[in-house]
Structure 1
Amino acid sequence: MTGLAARFFGSAVVYAVLGMTLGLVMGITKDHAQMPTHAHLLVIGWVSFALFGLFYHQFPLAAEGWLARAHFWLAQVSFAALIVGLFLIFGGQSGADPIAAVSSIGLLVSMILFGAIAWPIVMGQR
Protein backbone atom coordinates (compact mmCIF):
# COMPACT_ATOMS: atom_id res chain seq x y z
CA MET A 1 0.00 0.00 0.00
CA THR A 2 1.42 3.35 -1.01
CA GLY A 3 0.52 6.98 -1.52
CA LEU A 4 -2.89 8.28 -0.61
CA ALA A 5 -4.17 4.80 0.25
CA ALA A 6 -1.38 4.31 2.79
CA ARG A 7 -1.90 7.76 4.28
CA PHE A 8 -5.62 7.16 4.76
CA PHE A 9 -5.10 3.68 6.18
CA GLY A 10 -2.22 4.76 8.40
CA SER A 11 -4.25 7.61 9.85
CA ALA A 12 -7.12 5.16 10.43
CA VAL A 13 -4.86 3.01 12.59
CA VAL A 14 -3.84 6.07 14.62
CA TYR A 15 -7.51 7.01 15.12
CA ALA A 16 -8.33 3.42 16.16
CA VAL A 17 -5.63 3.50 18.82
CA LEU A 18 -6.83 6.90 20.06
CA GLY A 19 -10.46 5.76 20.13
CA MET A 20 -9.65 2.53 21.95
CA THR A 21 -7.45 4.38 24.42
CA LEU A 22 -10.24 6.85 25.15
CA GLY A 23 -12.62 3.92 25.65
CA LEU A 24 -10.20 2.27 28.06
CA VAL A 25 -9.78 5.51 30.02
CA MET A 26 -13.56 5.89 30.23
CA GLY A 27 -13.87 2.33 31.51
CA ILE A 28 -11.15 2.73 34.10
CA THR A 29 -12.48 6.06 35.39
CA LYS A 30 -16.15 5.05 35.01
CA ASP A 31 -16.70 8.46 33.39
CA HIS A 32 -18.41 7.90 30.05
CA ALA A 33 -19.01 11.55 29.19
CA GLN A 34 -16.75 11.24 26.12
CA MET A 35 -18.70 8.33 24.61
CA PRO A 36 -19.70 10.37 21.51
CA THR A 37 -16.07 11.39 20.95
CA HIS A 38 -14.99 7.76 21.36
CA ALA A 39 -17.65 6.63 18.86
CA HIS A 40 -16.66 9.26 16.29
CA LEU A 41 -12.99 8.32 16.61
CA LEU A 42 -13.77 4.69 15.87
CA VAL A 43 -16.55 4.95 13.30
CA ILE A 44 -15.31 7.89 11.23
CA GLY A 45 -11.61 7.76 12.09
CA TRP A 46 -11.02 4.03 12.03
CA VAL A 47 -13.77 2.55 9.87
CA SER A 48 -14.39 5.28 7.29
CA PHE A 49 -10.76 6.27 6.84
CA ALA A 50 -9.69 2.63 6.57
CA LEU A 51 -12.35 2.10 3.89
CA PHE A 52 -11.11 5.18 2.02
CA GLY A 53 -7.60 3.71 2.15
CA LEU A 54 -8.76 0.32 0.90
CA PHE A 55 -10.74 1.96 -1.91
CA TYR A 56 -7.76 4.01 -3.06
CA HIS A 57 -5.55 0.91 -2.80
CA GLN A 58 -7.99 -1.12 -4.92
CA PHE A 59 -8.41 1.70 -7.46
CA PRO A 60 -5.05 3.51 -7.54
CA LEU A 61 -6.00 5.71 -10.50
CA ALA A 62 -8.73 7.23 -8.31
CA ALA A 63 -6.04 8.45 -5.91
CA GLU A 64 -4.40 10.56 -8.60
CA GLY A 65 -5.23 14.19 -9.09
CA TRP A 66 -6.23 17.17 -7.05
CA LEU A 67 -9.72 15.92 -6.14
CA ALA A 68 -8.39 12.91 -4.22
CA ARG A 69 -5.79 15.07 -2.47
CA ALA A 70 -8.52 17.59 -1.58
CA HIS A 71 -10.58 14.71 -0.19
CA PHE A 72 -7.69 13.55 1.99
CA TRP A 73 -6.77 16.94 3.42
CA LEU A 74 -10.33 18.16 3.94
CA ALA A 75 -11.23 14.89 5.66
CA GLN A 76 -8.14 14.93 7.90
CA VAL A 77 -8.38 18.58 8.95
CA SER A 78 -12.15 18.44 9.44
CA PHE A 79 -11.97 15.21 11.44
CA ALA A 80 -9.21 16.49 13.72
CA ALA A 81 -11.20 19.66 14.38
CA LEU A 82 -14.37 17.63 15.00
CA ILE A 83 -12.64 15.45 17.58
CA VAL A 84 -11.29 18.52 19.38
CA GLY A 85 -14.73 20.14 19.26
CA LEU A 86 -16.49 17.04 20.55
CA PHE A 87 -13.93 16.53 23.31
CA LEU A 88 -14.46 20.10 24.47
CA ILE A 89 -18.26 19.93 24.22
CA PHE A 90 -18.55 16.69 26.18
CA GLY A 91 -15.99 18.05 28.61
CA GLY A 92 -18.43 20.84 29.43
CA GLN A 93 -17.28 23.60 27.04
CA SER A 94 -20.44 24.46 25.12
CA GLY A 95 -18.58 27.31 23.42
CA ALA A 96 -16.96 24.68 21.19
CA ASP A 97 -20.21 24.08 19.31
CA PRO A 98 -19.07 26.15 16.28
CA ILE A 99 -15.92 24.02 15.98
CA ALA A 100 -18.00 20.85 15.79
CA ALA A 101 -20.50 22.45 13.43
CA VAL A 102 -17.97 23.80 10.91
CA SER A 103 -15.86 20.64 11.01
CA SER A 104 -18.97 18.49 10.48
CA ILE A 105 -19.73 20.48 7.34
CA GLY A 106 -16.12 19.97 6.23
CA LEU A 107 -16.49 16.20 6.71
CA LEU A 108 -19.71 16.19 4.71
CA VAL A 109 -18.00 18.07 1.87
CA SER A 110 -15.09 15.61 1.99
CA MET A 111 -17.58 12.73 1.70
CA ILE A 112 -19.20 14.44 -1.28
CA LEU A 113 -15.74 14.70 -2.87
CA PHE A 114 -15.21 10.99 -2.23
CA GLY A 115 -18.58 10.27 -3.79
CA ALA A 116 -17.59 12.24 -6.88
CA ILE A 117 -14.41 10.16 -7.10
CA ALA A 118 -15.93 6.76 -6.29
CA TRP A 119 -19.32 6.94 -8.02
CA PRO A 120 -18.05 6.70 -11.62
CA ILE A 121 -15.82 3.77 -10.68
CA VAL A 122 -18.56 1.95 -8.78
CA MET A 123 -21.00 2.50 -11.63
CA GLY A 124 -18.46 1.18 -14.15
CA GLN A 125 -18.02 4.48 -15.95
CA ARG A 126 -14.31 4.78 -15.33
Structure 2
Amino acid sequence: MRFGKLYVICGLVYGLLGLTLGIVMASSHNYGQHVTHAHLLLIGLVLSVLYGVIHQLWLTTPNRWLARLQFGAHQLGAAVIGAGLFLRYGGLRPPQVVEPFLAVASLLVLAAMVLMLVMVLCTKR
Protein backbone atom coordinates (compact mmCIF):
# COMPACT_ATOMS: atom_id res chain seq x y z
CA MET A 1 0.00 0.00 0.00
CA ARG A 2 1.27 3.49 -0.83
CA PHE A 3 2.27 5.88 1.96
CA GLY A 4 -0.30 8.46 0.85
CA LYS A 5 -3.15 6.03 1.41
CA LEU A 6 -1.65 4.68 4.65
CA TYR A 7 -1.40 8.19 6.04
CA VAL A 8 -4.98 9.03 5.11
CA ILE A 9 -6.25 5.79 6.71
CA CYS A 10 -4.29 6.45 9.92
CA GLY A 11 -5.48 10.04 9.93
CA LEU A 12 -9.10 8.98 9.62
CA VAL A 13 -8.69 6.54 12.52
CA TYR A 14 -7.27 9.37 14.67
CA GLY A 15 -10.17 11.53 13.49
CA LEU A 16 -12.67 8.90 14.64
CA LEU A 17 -10.96 8.69 18.03
CA GLY A 18 -10.81 12.45 18.44
CA LEU A 19 -14.40 13.05 17.38
CA THR A 20 -15.66 10.20 19.57
CA LEU A 21 -13.80 11.67 22.53
CA GLY A 22 -15.34 15.06 21.75
CA ILE A 23 -18.83 13.59 21.67
CA VAL A 24 -18.23 11.77 24.97
CA MET A 25 -16.99 14.99 26.57
CA ALA A 26 -19.97 16.97 25.28
CA SER A 27 -22.53 14.40 26.37
CA SER A 28 -21.00 14.08 29.84
CA HIS A 29 -20.32 17.83 30.23
CA ASN A 30 -16.83 16.83 31.35
CA TYR A 31 -14.23 18.58 29.20
CA GLY A 32 -11.18 17.33 31.07
CA GLN A 33 -9.84 15.56 27.97
CA HIS A 34 -9.93 18.64 25.70
CA VAL A 35 -6.13 18.57 25.34
CA THR A 36 -6.22 14.93 24.24
CA HIS A 37 -9.10 15.67 21.87
CA ALA A 38 -7.19 18.53 20.23
CA HIS A 39 -3.97 16.55 19.86
CA LEU A 40 -5.73 13.54 18.36
CA LEU A 41 -7.34 15.78 15.78
CA LEU A 42 -4.34 18.00 15.00
CA ILE A 43 -1.37 15.63 15.18
CA GLY A 44 -3.31 12.48 14.37
CA LEU A 45 -5.88 13.57 11.78
CA VAL A 46 -4.68 16.83 10.24
CA LEU A 47 -0.95 16.15 10.12
CA SER A 48 -1.38 12.56 8.94
CA VAL A 49 -3.74 13.58 6.14
CA LEU A 50 -1.40 16.44 5.20
CA TYR A 51 1.49 13.97 4.95
CA GLY A 52 -0.73 11.71 2.84
CA VAL A 53 -1.45 14.58 0.45
CA ILE A 54 2.26 15.43 0.24
CA HIS A 55 3.02 11.81 -0.64
CA GLN A 56 0.32 11.76 -3.32
CA LEU A 57 1.23 15.08 -4.91
CA TRP A 58 5.00 15.38 -4.54
CA LEU A 59 6.61 12.21 -3.24
CA THR A 60 5.49 9.75 -5.89
CA THR A 61 8.79 7.81 -5.63
CA PRO A 62 10.19 8.56 -2.17
CA ASN A 63 13.25 6.91 -0.69
CA ARG A 64 11.51 3.85 0.81
CA TRP A 65 13.79 3.60 3.83
CA LEU A 66 13.40 7.29 4.68
CA ALA A 67 9.63 7.19 4.04
CA ARG A 68 9.23 4.16 6.35
CA LEU A 69 11.31 5.82 9.06
CA GLN A 70 9.29 9.03 8.78
CA PHE A 71 5.96 7.17 8.79
CA GLY A 72 6.95 5.06 11.80
CA ALA A 73 8.24 8.03 13.78
CA HIS A 74 5.09 10.05 13.16
CA GLN A 75 2.64 7.24 13.89
CA LEU A 76 4.46 6.04 17.01
CA GLY A 77 4.80 9.58 18.31
CA ALA A 78 1.16 10.44 17.60
CA ALA A 79 -0.09 7.23 19.23
CA VAL A 80 2.02 7.71 22.37
CA ILE A 81 0.97 11.36 22.64
CA GLY A 82 -2.70 10.40 22.30
CA ALA A 83 -2.49 7.59 24.85
CA GLY A 84 -0.25 9.55 27.20
CA LEU A 85 -2.49 12.60 27.24
CA PHE A 86 -5.54 10.40 27.78
CA LEU A 87 -3.86 8.80 30.81
CA ARG A 88 -2.59 12.15 32.09
CA TYR A 89 -5.78 14.18 31.75
CA GLY A 90 -8.00 11.28 32.72
CA GLY A 91 -6.17 11.10 36.04
CA LEU A 92 -5.22 7.49 35.32
CA ARG A 93 -1.48 8.11 35.74
CA PRO A 94 0.34 10.93 37.54
CA PRO A 95 2.07 13.59 35.43
CA GLN A 96 5.57 12.59 36.53
CA VAL A 97 5.00 9.11 35.09
CA VAL A 98 3.47 10.20 31.77
CA GLU A 99 5.47 13.31 30.93
CA PRO A 100 8.76 11.57 30.03
CA PHE A 101 6.87 9.48 27.47
CA LEU A 102 5.14 12.59 26.14
CA ALA A 103 8.50 14.33 25.79
CA VAL A 104 10.02 11.48 23.77
CA ALA A 105 6.88 11.14 21.65
CA SER A 106 6.88 14.88 20.93
CA LEU A 107 10.48 14.63 19.75
CA LEU A 108 9.47 11.73 17.48
CA VAL A 109 6.74 13.84 15.89
CA LEU A 110 9.22 16.69 15.46
CA ALA A 111 11.79 14.33 13.90
CA ALA A 112 9.10 13.04 11.54
CA MET A 113 8.37 16.62 10.46
CA VAL A 114 12.08 17.19 9.77
CA LEU A 115 12.25 13.96 7.76
CA MET A 116 9.21 15.00 5.72
CA LEU A 117 10.86 18.34 4.98
CA VAL A 118 14.02 16.53 3.88
CA MET A 119 12.04 14.26 1.57
CA VAL A 120 10.18 17.21 0.03
CA LEU A 121 13.41 19.17 -0.44
CA CYS A 122 15.12 16.18 -2.05
CA THR A 123 12.33 15.38 -4.48
CA LYS A 124 12.92 16.14 -8.15
CA ARG A 125 9.28 17.01 -8.75
How many residue pairs were aligned? Answer: 121
Task: State the Cα distance separating 1:89 from its structure 2 match.
Answer: 1.2
Question: How do residues 1-126 of structure 1 correspond to structure 2 at under 5 angstroms?
Answer: 2-59=1-58, 60-62=60-62, 64-92=63-91, 93=93, 94=95, 95-121=97-123, 126=125
Structure 2 letter corresponding to 1:58 = L
1:98 Cα deviation after fit: 1.0
Deviations 1:74-125 (A, max 9, x none): 111111111111111111221211111110011111111111111344xxx5
TM-score by length of 2: 0.90
Structure 2 gaps, min length 5: none
Distance (Å, rounded) in 2 between the aligned partners of 1:85 and 1:119: 32
TM-score by length of 1: 0.90
Return 5+ residue gaps in structure 1 as ranges.
Answer: none
93-102 vs 36-45, which moves further:
93-102
Counterpart residue identity of residue 30, structure 1: H
Q: Where in structure 1 do 4 or more consecutive aligned residues deviate above 4 Å?
A: none
